[in-house]
Protein backbone atom coordinates (compact mmCIF):
# COMPACT_ATOMS: atom_id res chain seq x y z
CA UNK A 1 0.00 0.00 0.00
CA UNK A 2 1.48 3.32 -1.01
CA UNK A 3 1.66 6.41 1.23
CA UNK A 4 -1.37 8.07 -0.35
CA UNK A 5 -3.51 5.03 0.36
CA UNK A 6 -2.18 4.97 3.94
CA UNK A 7 -3.21 8.59 4.46
CA UNK A 8 -6.65 7.96 2.99
CA UNK A 9 -7.11 5.05 5.37
CA UNK A 10 -6.06 7.14 8.37
CA UNK A 11 -8.56 9.83 7.42
CA UNK A 12 -11.29 7.22 6.98
CA UNK A 13 -10.55 5.96 10.48
CA UNK A 14 -10.94 9.52 11.85
CA UNK A 15 -7.31 10.32 12.53
CA UNK A 16 -6.62 14.06 12.32
CA UNK A 17 -3.20 14.29 13.99
CA UNK A 18 0.17 12.61 13.67
CA UNK A 19 2.44 11.74 16.60
CA UNK A 20 6.20 12.11 16.49
CA UNK A 21 8.40 9.16 17.19
CA UNK A 22 9.82 10.84 20.33
CA UNK A 23 7.96 13.01 22.89
CA UNK A 24 8.61 16.76 22.80
CA UNK A 25 8.59 19.33 25.61
CA UNK A 26 6.73 22.18 23.93
CA UNK A 27 7.46 24.57 26.83
CA UNK A 28 11.11 24.59 25.79
CA UNK A 29 10.18 25.18 22.17
CA UNK A 30 7.91 28.12 23.09
CA UNK A 31 10.60 29.70 25.26
CA UNK A 32 13.24 29.44 22.55
CA UNK A 33 11.07 30.80 19.74
CA UNK A 34 11.20 34.58 19.21
CA UNK A 35 8.19 36.63 20.21
CA UNK A 36 6.04 37.75 17.28
CA UNK A 37 6.64 41.28 16.11
CA UNK A 38 3.51 43.44 16.16
CA UNK A 39 2.99 46.42 13.85
CA UNK A 40 0.66 48.06 16.38
CA UNK A 41 2.07 51.17 18.03
CA UNK A 42 2.10 51.30 21.83
CA UNK A 43 -0.65 53.48 23.31
CA UNK A 44 0.41 57.08 23.54
CA UNK A 45 0.78 58.54 26.98
CA UNK A 46 -2.06 60.83 27.97
CA UNK A 47 -1.15 64.39 27.23
CA UNK A 48 -0.88 66.60 30.27
CA UNK A 49 -1.20 70.36 30.06
CA UNK A 50 2.04 72.27 30.10
CA UNK A 51 0.41 74.90 32.29
CA UNK A 52 -0.75 74.57 35.91
CA UNK A 53 -4.44 74.45 36.63
CA UNK A 54 -5.58 77.42 38.69
CA UNK A 55 -8.38 78.00 41.16
CA UNK A 56 -10.70 80.87 42.16
CA UNK A 57 -8.00 82.58 44.24
CA UNK A 58 -5.66 82.59 41.25
CA UNK A 59 -8.50 83.82 39.03
CA UNK A 60 -9.08 86.82 41.28
CA UNK A 61 -5.37 87.63 41.33
CA UNK A 62 -5.07 87.34 37.54
CA UNK A 63 -8.16 89.45 36.92
CA UNK A 64 -7.12 92.21 39.32
CA UNK A 65 -3.73 92.47 37.63
CA UNK A 66 -5.38 93.48 34.33
CA UNK A 67 -5.53 97.24 33.84
CA UNK A 68 -7.05 97.31 30.34
CA UNK A 69 -9.80 95.39 28.55
CA UNK A 70 -7.39 93.89 25.96
CA UNK A 71 -5.22 92.64 28.83
CA UNK A 72 -8.29 91.13 30.50
CA UNK A 73 -9.29 89.37 27.27
CA UNK A 74 -5.78 87.98 26.87
CA UNK A 75 -5.69 86.80 30.49
CA UNK A 76 -9.05 85.10 30.08
CA UNK A 77 -7.90 83.36 26.89
CA UNK A 78 -4.90 81.95 28.80
CA UNK A 79 -6.91 81.08 31.92
CA UNK A 80 -6.91 77.33 32.67
CA UNK A 81 -9.17 77.24 35.71
CA UNK A 82 -12.39 76.56 33.76
CA UNK A 83 -12.62 73.26 31.82
CA UNK A 84 -15.11 74.76 29.35
CA UNK A 85 -12.18 76.29 27.43
CA UNK A 86 -11.21 72.77 26.30
CA UNK A 87 -14.58 72.03 24.67
CA UNK A 88 -15.51 75.45 23.28
CA UNK A 89 -14.62 76.60 19.77
CA UNK A 90 -13.96 80.26 20.57
CA UNK A 91 -13.59 82.59 23.51
CA UNK A 92 -16.60 84.93 23.62
CA UNK A 93 -15.36 88.03 25.43
CA UNK A 94 -17.59 91.03 24.65
CA UNK A 95 -19.14 93.25 22.02
CA UNK A 96 -19.69 97.00 21.96
CA UNK A 97 -17.72 100.09 23.02
CA UNK A 98 -15.15 99.75 25.79
CA UNK A 99 -16.69 102.50 27.92
CA UNK A 100 -20.41 102.26 27.26
CA UNK A 101 -22.89 103.88 29.62
CA UNK A 102 -24.96 100.68 29.80
CA UNK A 103 -23.61 97.14 30.17
CA UNK A 104 -25.70 94.01 29.59
CA UNK A 105 -24.56 90.69 31.07
CA UNK A 106 -25.99 87.32 30.04
CA UNK A 107 -25.22 83.81 31.19
CA UNK A 108 -23.22 81.89 28.53
CA UNK A 109 -22.62 81.74 24.77
CA UNK A 110 -24.80 79.59 22.56
CA UNK A 111 -23.79 77.69 19.42
CA UNK A 112 -23.85 80.75 17.17
CA UNK A 113 -21.79 82.79 19.63
CA UNK A 114 -19.33 79.93 20.04
CA UNK A 115 -18.73 79.80 16.29
CA UNK A 116 -18.44 83.57 15.80
CA UNK A 117 -16.75 84.65 19.05
CA UNK A 118 -19.27 87.46 19.80
CA UNK A 119 -22.09 87.48 22.37
CA UNK A 120 -25.81 87.73 21.62
CA UNK A 121 -25.86 86.97 17.90
CA UNK A 122 -28.08 83.87 18.05
CA UNK A 123 -31.91 83.74 18.35
CA UNK A 124 -31.84 85.24 21.85
CA UNK A 125 -29.59 88.04 20.60
CA UNK A 126 -31.91 88.75 17.69
CA UNK A 127 -34.84 89.03 20.08
CA UNK A 128 -32.74 91.32 22.28
CA UNK A 129 -32.09 93.54 19.25
CA UNK A 130 -35.84 93.77 18.62
CA UNK A 131 -36.51 94.63 22.27
CA UNK A 132 -33.89 97.39 22.13
CA UNK A 133 -35.27 98.73 18.85
CA UNK A 134 -38.77 98.88 20.35
CA UNK A 135 -37.53 101.54 22.79
CA UNK A 136 -35.33 103.36 20.29
CA UNK A 137 -32.00 101.84 21.33
CA UNK A 138 -29.18 100.24 19.33
CA UNK A 139 -26.89 97.48 20.58
CA UNK A 140 -23.89 99.25 19.03
CA UNK A 141 -24.09 101.73 21.91
CA UNK A 142 -24.09 99.03 24.62
CA UNK A 143 -21.45 96.77 26.14
CA UNK A 144 -22.56 93.14 25.84
CA UNK A 145 -20.93 90.21 27.58
CA UNK A 146 -21.70 86.97 29.44
CA UNK A 147 -20.80 85.42 32.78
CA UNK A 148 -19.07 82.52 31.04
CA UNK A 149 -16.87 83.28 28.04
CA UNK A 150 -17.07 79.68 26.80
CA UNK A 151 -20.11 77.69 25.69
CA UNK A 152 -21.04 74.73 27.93
CA UNK A 153 -21.22 71.44 25.98
CA UNK A 154 -24.64 70.75 24.54
CA UNK A 155 -25.82 74.21 25.57
CA UNK A 156 -26.43 72.93 29.10
CA UNK A 157 -26.82 75.26 32.08
CA UNK A 158 -23.49 76.32 33.63
CA UNK A 159 -22.65 74.71 36.95
CA UNK A 160 -21.53 76.35 40.18
CA UNK A 161 -17.80 75.65 39.79
CA UNK A 162 -17.74 77.12 36.27
CA UNK A 163 -19.51 80.29 37.41
CA UNK A 164 -17.25 80.67 40.43
CA UNK A 165 -14.13 80.34 38.27
CA UNK A 166 -15.24 83.09 35.89
CA UNK A 167 -16.79 85.60 38.32
CA UNK A 168 -13.53 87.49 39.07
CA UNK A 169 -13.13 88.24 35.36
CA UNK A 170 -16.65 89.60 34.92
CA UNK A 171 -16.23 91.73 38.06
CA UNK A 172 -13.02 93.16 36.64
CA UNK A 173 -14.73 93.65 33.28
CA UNK A 174 -17.40 95.80 34.94
CA UNK A 175 -14.78 97.82 36.78
CA UNK A 176 -12.80 98.54 33.60
CA UNK A 177 -15.86 99.48 31.53
CA UNK A 178 -17.26 101.58 34.41
CA UNK A 179 -20.83 101.75 33.06
CA UNK A 180 -23.48 104.04 34.48
CA UNK A 181 -25.96 101.15 34.72
CA UNK A 182 -26.02 97.36 34.54
CA UNK A 183 -28.69 95.02 33.20
CA UNK A 184 -28.40 91.40 34.33
CA UNK A 185 -30.16 89.03 31.96
CA UNK A 186 -31.45 86.00 33.85
CA UNK A 187 -30.77 84.19 37.10
CA UNK A 188 -27.22 83.13 36.22
CA UNK A 189 -26.22 86.71 35.49
CA UNK A 190 -27.61 87.69 38.89
CA UNK A 191 -24.63 85.82 40.35
CA UNK A 192 -22.62 88.94 39.48
CA UNK A 193 -24.52 90.88 42.10
CA UNK A 194 -24.53 88.05 44.63
CA UNK A 195 -20.85 87.34 44.21
CA UNK A 196 -21.73 83.64 44.37
CA UNK A 197 -22.68 80.83 42.03
CA UNK A 198 -25.76 79.80 44.03
CA UNK A 199 -28.64 80.58 41.70
CA UNK A 200 -31.21 79.62 44.34
CA UNK A 201 -30.55 82.82 46.28
CA UNK A 202 -33.29 85.42 46.14
CA UNK A 203 -32.49 88.56 44.17
CA UNK A 204 -30.70 91.21 46.19
CA UNK A 205 -29.59 94.55 44.90
CA UNK A 206 -25.79 94.82 44.88
CA UNK A 207 -23.65 97.10 46.98
CA UNK A 208 -23.83 100.89 46.69
CA UNK A 209 -20.40 100.72 45.11
CA UNK A 210 -22.06 99.22 42.05
CA UNK A 211 -23.80 101.23 39.34
CA UNK A 212 -27.62 101.08 39.28
CA UNK A 213 -28.50 97.50 38.44
CA UNK A 214 -31.63 95.95 36.95
CA UNK A 215 -32.38 92.26 36.55
CA UNK A 216 -34.73 91.03 33.81
CA UNK A 217 -35.50 87.61 32.33
CA UNK A 218 -33.09 86.19 29.80
CA UNK A 219 -34.07 86.94 26.17
CA UNK A 220 -34.12 83.22 25.29
CA UNK A 221 -36.92 82.65 27.78
CA UNK A 222 -39.64 84.53 25.85
CA UNK A 223 -38.28 83.00 22.65
CA UNK A 224 -38.99 79.52 24.10
CA UNK A 225 -42.23 80.54 25.82
CA UNK A 226 -45.54 79.13 24.51
CA UNK A 227 -46.92 82.69 24.73
CA UNK A 228 -43.95 84.83 23.65
CA UNK A 229 -45.94 88.02 23.16
CA UNK A 230 -47.02 88.24 26.80
CA UNK A 231 -43.57 87.26 28.07
CA UNK A 232 -41.80 89.76 25.83
CA UNK A 233 -44.00 92.57 27.14
CA UNK A 234 -43.12 91.58 30.70
CA UNK A 235 -39.46 91.49 29.73
CA UNK A 236 -39.53 94.92 28.06
CA UNK A 237 -41.19 96.83 30.90
CA UNK A 238 -37.99 97.25 33.01
CA UNK A 239 -36.18 98.90 30.08
CA UNK A 240 -38.07 102.13 30.58
CA UNK A 241 -36.48 102.42 34.04
CA UNK A 242 -32.99 101.83 32.64
CA UNK A 243 -32.87 104.30 29.73
Q: Determine, yes or no, domain membership for 81.
A: yes
Q: Determine, yes or no, domain membership for 37.
A: no
- pLDDT single digits (tens) 105-161: 998 999 999 999 999 999 888 888 988 888 888 899 999 999 999 999 998 988 888
**Cα–Cα–Cα angle for 26, 28, 29, rounded to 5 degrees:** 60
Q: Determine, yes or no, domain membership for 96.
A: yes
CATH of the domain at 83: 3.40.470.10
More confident residue, 58 or 39: 58
Per-residue buried b or exposed e for 107-132, using 16+ beta carbons within 10 Å of the residue's own CB: bbbbebbbeebbbbbbebbebbbebb
- pLDDT single digits (tens) 206-219: 444 567 777 777 66
* Residue ranges in 95-243 assigned as alpha helix (H): 111-116, 123-134, 160-177, 191-194, 220-224, 228-236, 239-242
Q: Determine, yes or no, domain membership for 211.
A: yes
Mean pLDDT value of segment 64-83: 95
Between CA 125 and CA 113 the distance in angstroms is 9
Q: Determine, yes or no, domain membership for 48.
A: no
Report pTM.
0.68
Residue-number span of the structural domain to which 154 is assigned: 56-242
Q: Determine, yes or no, domain membership for 20.
A: no
Q: Determine, yes or no, domain membership for 122.
A: yes
Number of structural domains, the chain? 1
- pLDDT single digits (tens) 170-197: 999 999 999 998 888 887 787 776 665 5
Least confident of 37-51, 76-90, 121-135, 207-221: 37-51
Q: Determine, yes or no, domain membership for 29.
A: no
Between CA 180 and CA 174 the distance in angstroms is 10
Amino acid sequence: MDIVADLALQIAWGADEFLADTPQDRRIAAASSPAPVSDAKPPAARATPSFPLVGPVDAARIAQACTTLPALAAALAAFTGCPLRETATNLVFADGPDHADLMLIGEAPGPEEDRDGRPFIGPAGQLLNQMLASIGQNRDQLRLTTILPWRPPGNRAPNASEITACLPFIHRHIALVAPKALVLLGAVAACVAHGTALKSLAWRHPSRLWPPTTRIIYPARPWRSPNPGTTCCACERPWSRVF
